[in-house]
Amino acid sequence: MTYRINVLFEKDEHGYFAYSPQLKGCHSQGETFEEASENIREAVELYLETMTPEEIRQTLPGELITTTIEVAVA
């Protein structure tokens, strides 16, 4: 079965940190975006393998939608 999992990436001076807000404790990292993407994909797959189909249905209710906004601070 295929699932759509929300994953967020944060970049800092050490590389990329990736995590899924839907899957508590599921996170990974990598020196490049590509490496972090591969690592979080593997982490998500392993995480889901530990769950029953019912647990997965309850945990993955929908998609997270994100955007970037610009704000001015005085």
Q: CATH number, domain at 52? A: 3.30.160.250
**Count of domains for the chain:** 1
pLDDT at 65: 82
In a domain, 2, yes or no: no
In a domain, 65, yes or no: no
- Return averaged pLDDT per consecutive 10 residues of the chain, 74 residues in all: 89 96 95 98 97 90 81 93
SS3 state at 30: strand
pLDDT at 35: 98
In a domain, 36, yes or no: yes
The Cα–Cα gap between 74 and 52 comes to 50
The Cα–Cα gap between 9 and 24 comes to 15
The pair of structure tokens assigned to 27 is 């996170």
Q: Which residues span the domain enclosing 43?
A: 8-59
| pTM of this structure | 0.81
pLDDT at 1: 81
The pair of structure tokens assigned to 28 is 């990974």
